[in-house]
Structures are given as C-alpha cells and as structure tokens.
Amino acid sequence: MNLMKKLVLFDFDGVLINSEMFYLDFWSKNLSIHNIFFSEKDLIGKNNIQFLNQFDFTAVQIENLIFEKQKAETNFFKNAIMDDSLKLLIKLLSKHLTIAIVSNNSQSNITNFLVNNDCFNFFNQIVSNDSGLKPKPNPEMYLKAILLHQIKKEETLIIEDSPIGFESAKKASIDFVEFNFMNLDISINKIYRKLNINK
C-alpha cells in the first residue's frame, strides 16, 4: 500500500459505470428530432447544460430535454450493474483508504447505482453536479472534496476518464490516473500499481 495516498476520488460516468452509450443513444434519438447531429466528442465529459448549450435551443427546450433525460436516467441507473472487478477494487480500497465520488452527474443517479450494486456504504462522500459547486473542468468540486476530508493534495489520487476531468484534476494540482473503460483491466491495474497494492 502506498502510504502517500490517503484519499481516492473517483469520477462516476466512464469510470464506475460505462454509461456513455446510454447518453449517446438518448441524445441521438432526442436531438435528431430537431435535425441536430453530433459526435461523441461533443458529449463526453459534459453535464446537461454544457452539452445542450452547444446548440441553438431555447431555455424552455433545454428544460424539457433535461426533464426527459432525467426520467430515462432514473430507470437506467437503478438497474445498471457494476463490473465485478471494479466492485472488488472499491471494496479493497475502502478497507485502507478514504474513497469518494466527484462527478458532474446527480446525487440521485449516483446513489441509485451504488445502492443497486450494494456499494453505497463503501464511499465516504459524493460531491455531485447538484451540490451547488461549479462543474468540471472547474477544479472546485475536487478542491471541496479534499477540504471536507482535511486531506492534503499530495495525499490524494483522482481517477478520471475524460478530457474535462483531466483538466479539472490538473487545475486542482492533484495527481490523477487516466481511466479507459474500454480497457477496463488495464485501467484497474494502473490504479493498483499507482497505489502499490497487490490484489
């Protein structure tokens, strides 16, 4: 165990859950109605407002689209299953370190997913999009997380998968691991090696 690290902050989407295809499918269906087409690059790492502000929607249209997405999300996150190797990682880390989630997603979506997978109690904290803090790439949520735990930056490790997450970690001056769900085993092993943990 690397005693230099005391706190591990997990991003949620693309790290603890492979949710990108859900979002891509939802937005593709709902924006094609408005003759709007986009690339995956336009979507990854952005919250609802950041994503929709790229297009010429009115405030009312944005509100309606977000409402429809929230309904679909509730069902998705209540039923999504966490990968077994990720669950093992979380259980192991929770025995030795403080672990938390810092995400542009909502508290309710994250909680639904964790409860469904019997993992809620492993995490000490969730800092989410509805916490009133500025979303990533602003570093505010990460800085708030370490402040709440009273743990130094150099004692913290961030697990991120997206460019805006990397930017947020860099702006916060906190060490981070680049996670790729498409190479899940490699990504998980990177975390073990970074923390000097034997499985």
Residue-level pLDDT at 184: 97
The answer on pLDDT for 3 being more than 80 is no
pTM: 0.89
Q: What is the pLDDT of residues 119-146, one digit of tens each?
A: 999 999 999 988 889 999 999 999 999 9
Number of Cβ within a 10 Å radius of residue 189: 14
Q: Which residues make Cβ contacts (< 8 Å) with residue 177, sequence separation at least 6?
A: 157, 158, 159, 160, 187, 190, 191, 194
Q: Which residues make Cβ contacts (< 8 Å) with residue 146, sequence separation at least 6?
A: 7, 9, 152, 153, 156, 174
Round the average pLDDT of the chain to a whole number and report it: 93
Residue-level pLDDT at 152: 95
CA angle 13, 19, 20 (to 5 degrees): 95
Name 126's bridge partners.
101
The answer on pLDDT for 50 being more than 90 is no
The answer on pLDDT for 1 being more than 60 is no
